[in-house]
Amino acid sequence: MDMIARTTKQVGTVLRRCRRQQKLTQDELGRKVSVRQATISKLEAGEPATQLRTLMDTLAALDLELVIQPRSKAAITEIEEGF
């Protein structure tokens, strides 16, 4: 499942979907990442000030990875259709 995310809110949406697909609660994921449930909630909501380490640990806990590549030419409306 490749998804393009250009905003913090879109990243949060992807993380929420993946967590739910793995049938994890925010609390369970938080325990895997060693953060509070509230931190997972904020990350999924796309709230600012999330530490990069928290994001990377959460991706690892969900068996995901961050891929950096040149920005696609897809219009923002096309990307948002996936959300």
Residue 52 within a domain: yes
Rounded Cα gap, residues 82 and 3, in angstroms: 8
Residue 30 within a domain: yes
Residue 1 within a domain: no
- Structure-token match 């929420």, residue found: 16
CATH number of the domain within which 48 lies: 1.10.260.40
Residue 38 within a domain: yes
Question: Is the pLDDT reported for residue 14 higher than 80?
Answer: yes
Q: Look at residue 1 in the predicted model and tell me its pLDDT.
A: 64
Q: Which domain holds residue 69?
A: 8-80
Q: How many domains does the chain have?
A: 1
Residue 2 within a domain: no
Rounded Cα gap, residues 13 and 15, in angstroms: 5
Q: Look at residue 83 in the predicted model and tell me its pLDDT.
A: 62
What pLDDT digit, counting tens, does each position of 39-59 carry? 999 999 999 888 999 999 999
Rounded Cα gap, residues 71 and 57, in angstroms: 24
Rounded Cα gap, residues 9 and 5, in angstroms: 8
Residue 3 within a domain: no
Q: Is pTM, for the whole model, over 0.85?
A: no
Tokens of 4: 């393009």
